[in-house]
């Protein structure tokens, strides 16, 4: 059956020299459907026959845990804001479909823009489609606010792929993490779209009490028609933002009033399990920890970078706790592990094998410095109480230098012993 399918698809292979773009599309479909027709013999340094595409698929599959929870949490935060179905599983169908419809356009735009650029450059260069955007395309929606205007998302993805990757030669040649470059573009070019209290909860005119909700035809006609037919609760266009609601994230509250200000609004359980406002994929800590452990055990992500980043964060957190000059500095260091995007950055961003340090000793230094600078930026930055994005991009810049110094030290040591 597989051979018949392969033979059928091979019949449609276009001429590469005459139609490079069509051949690029064909090759992308071919490599998506079929594994390589050869195996790697086990040897001293060769361990398996995993290619780049299938390595990245593992990361994409693990991200689906965050996608599922993030989809539902978008809807849950929306209904918390209007004071309806405040129990986590109450109004399940409303929350799930609301979150799905909010996330779907973000996912589509990120992939259409990014893959279109990848296809264009692959056809121009006359080679196969590169696999690098598999992970970047899956990560970008996870690190954006749920209400980000789609045109801004499109511009940020185009900037990240063209300037951050293709300008350096494509997959494997970029010096900065492409997904983070997309987010940092939004951060500097459109700061009001990615900071403040209102951007983390979707579907509201504002977070002020009495503000109206924003439902479209899809909610009031299509979804409500299906729900009425099934006898379920429906979306009500008359709902308003409830009194006493705040869309502030735990980090924003900690920056303003320390840990006491955080616990007045959010329970520790809510912050750990992820039923809080934030970027779409960063809130559920147990799911991220599961992904981090799997990636570290199978060797796709470096456990040295993850552990080094954790140690750097703990070290810096203890120092800032001893200083205690501001309310944010007094937040106990261990709370910084599960508020904000620390764990998501540790599992999926800092461990990018292209932009991270590649030597074993360099990975320890690289991870530790991300933890150090990330917490410094998070706590001492007066404009934006988070730091991992900027810290990782900073250390992406210096990772070649770290590897160079480690290698030079090793060579000097060996020369001395010789």
Classify the phi-psi angles of 214: left when phi > 0, otherwise alpha if psi is within -120 to 50, otherwise beta.
beta
Number of domain units in the chain: 2
| 302-310: average pLDDT | 97
Question: Is 115 within a domain?
Answer: yes
Question: Is 5 within a domain?
Answer: no
Question: 212: which strand partners?
Answer: 240
| Per-residue confidence (pLDDT) for residue 417, from 0 to 100 | 82
Q: What percent of the chain stands above pLDDT 70? A: 86
Question: Is 282 within a domain?
Answer: yes
Name the pLDDT band for 44 (thresholds 50, 70, 90): very low
Question: Is 11 within a domain?
Answer: no
Residue 289 and residue 417 in one domain: yes
SS (H, E, C) the chain: CHHHHHHHHHCCCCCCCCCHHHHHHHHHHHHHHCCCCCCCCCCCCCCCCCCHHHHHHHHHHHHHHHHHHHHHHHHHHHHHHHCCCCCCCCCHHHHHHHHHHHHHHHHHHHHHHHHHHHHHHHHHHCCCCCCCHHHHHHHHHHCCCCCCCHHHHHHHHHHHHHHHCHHHCCCCCCCCCHHHHHHHHHHHHCHHHCCCCCCCCCCECCCCCCCEECCCHHHHHHHHHHHHHHCCCCCCCCCECCCCCCCCCHHHHHHHHHHHHHHCCCCHHHHHHCCCCCCCCCCCHHHHHHHHHHHHHHCCCCHHHHHHHHHHHHHHHHHHHHHCCCCHHHCCHHHHHCCCCHHHHHHHHCCCCCCCCCCHHHHHHHHHHHHHHHHHHHHHCCCCCCCHHHHHHHHHHHHHHHHHHHHHHHHHHHHHHC
CA triple 375-380-384, angle to 5 deg: 85
Q: Which of 98, 200, 108, 100 is nearest to 154 (CA)?
A: 108
| 410-416: average pLDDT | 90
Residue 301 and residue 239 in one domain: no
Residue 145 and residue 266 in one domain: no
Q: Other CB atoms closer than 10 Å to residue 326's CB: what's the count?
A: 14
The answer on pLDDT for 382 being more than 70 is yes
Average pLDDT score, the chain: 88
| Per-residue confidence (pLDDT) for residue 381, from 0 to 100 | 86
Residue 275 and residue 235 in one domain: no
* Distance (Å) of CA 14 to CA 7, 24, 128, 129: 14, 9, 13, 15
Question: Is 132 within a domain?
Answer: yes
Question: Is 43 within a domain?
Answer: no
| Per-residue confidence (pLDDT) for residue 125, from 0 to 100 | 75
SS (H, E, C) 366-398: HHHHHHHHHHHHHHHCCCCCCCHHHHHHHHHHH
pTM of the model: 0.88
| 313-333: average pLDDT | 96
| Per-residue confidence (pLDDT) for residue 47, from 0 to 100 | 47
Burial (CB < 10 A; 0-12, 13-18, 19+), residue 366, is: buried
What is the extent of the structural domain holding 265?
250-418
Residue 24 and residue 172 in one domain: yes
| Per-residue confidence (pLDDT) for residue 247, from 0 to 100 | 82
Tens of pLDDT, residue by residue over 107-145, are 999 999 998 998 888 878 776 666 668 889 999 999 999
The answer on pLDDT for 311 being more than 70 is yes
Structural domain ending residue among the three candidates 199, 232, 247: 247
Structural domain ending residue among the three candidates 198, 232, 247: 247
| Per-residue confidence (pLDDT) for residue 86, from 0 to 100 | 95
The answer on pLDDT for 407 being more than 80 is yes
Residue 223 and residue 295 in one domain: no
Residue 240 and residue 273 in one domain: no
Residue 129 and residue 100 in one domain: yes
Residue 239 and residue 323 in one domain: no
Round to whole Å and give the CA distance between 193 and 213. 18
Question: Is 144 within a domain?
Answer: yes
| Per-residue confidence (pLDDT) for residue 127, from 0 to 100 | 67
Question: Is 6 within a domain?
Answer: no
Residue 282 and residue 367 in one domain: yes
Round to whole Å and give the CA distance between 411 and 286. 42
| Per-residue confidence (pLDDT) for residue 266, from 0 to 100 | 95
* 210 touches 200 (CB < 8 A): no
Contacts of 77 (CB under 8 A, 6+ apart): 146, 200, 201, 202, 247, 276, 277
Q: At what angle do helices 285-298 and 303-323 cross, to 10 degrees?
A: 140
Residue 240 and residue 255 in one domain: no
Q: What percent of the chain stands above pLDDT 90? A: 69
The answer on pLDDT for 43 being more than 50 is no
The answer on pLDDT for 92 being more than 60 is yes
Residue 80 and residue 109 in one domain: yes
């Amino acid at each position: 059956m597989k051979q018949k399918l392969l033979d059928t698809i091979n019949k449609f292979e276009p001429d590469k020299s005459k139609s490079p773009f069509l051949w690029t599309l064909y090759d992308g479909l071919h490599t998506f459907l079929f594994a390589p027709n050869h195996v790697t013999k086990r040897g001293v340094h060769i361990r398996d026959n995993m290619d780049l595409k299938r390595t990245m698929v593992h990361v994409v599959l693990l991200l689906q845990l965050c996608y599922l929870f993030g989809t539902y949490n978008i809807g849950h935060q929306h209904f918390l804001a209007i004071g309806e179905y405040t129990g986590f599983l109450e109004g399940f169908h409303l929350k799930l479909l609301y979150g799905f419809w909010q996330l779907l356009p973000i996912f589509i735009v990120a992939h259409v823009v990014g893959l279109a650029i990848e296809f264009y450059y692959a056809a121009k260069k006359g080679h196969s489609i590169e696999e690098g955007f598999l992970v970047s395309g899956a990560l970008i929606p996870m690190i954006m606010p749920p209400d980000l205007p789609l045109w801004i998302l499109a511009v940020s993805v185009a900037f990240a792929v063209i300037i951050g990757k293709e300008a350096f030669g494509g997959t494997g040649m970029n010096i900065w993490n492409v997904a983070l470059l997309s987010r940092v573009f939004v951060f500097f070019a459109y700061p009001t779209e990615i900071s403040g209290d209102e951007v983390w909860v979707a579907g509201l005119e504002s977070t002020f009490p009495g503000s109206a909700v924003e439902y479209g035809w899809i909610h009031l006609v299509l979804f409500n028609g299906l729900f009425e037919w099934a006898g379920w609760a429906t979306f009500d266009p008359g709902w308003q933002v409830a009194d006493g609601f705040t869309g502030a994230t735990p980090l924003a509250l900690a920056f303003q009033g320390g840990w006491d200000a955080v616990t007045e609004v959010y329970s520790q359980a809510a912050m750990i399990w992820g039923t809080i406002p934030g970027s779409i994929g960063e809130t559920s800590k147990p799911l991220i920890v599961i992904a981090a452990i799997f990636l570290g055990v199978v060797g796709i992500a470096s456990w040295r970078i993850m552990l080094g980043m954790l140690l750097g964060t703990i070290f810096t957190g203890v120092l800032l706790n001893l200083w205690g000059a501001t309310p944010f500095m007094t937040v106990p260091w261990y709370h910084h592990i599960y508020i904000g995007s620390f764990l998501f950055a540790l599992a999926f961003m800092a461990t990018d094998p292209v932009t991270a340090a590649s030597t074993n000793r360099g990975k320890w230094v690289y991870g530790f410095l991300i933890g150090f600078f990330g917490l410094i930026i998070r706590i001492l930055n007066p404009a934006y109480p988070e730091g991992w994005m900027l810290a990782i991009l900073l250390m992406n810049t210096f990772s070649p230098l770290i590897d160079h110094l480690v290698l030079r030290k090793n060579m000097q040591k060996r020369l001395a012993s010789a």
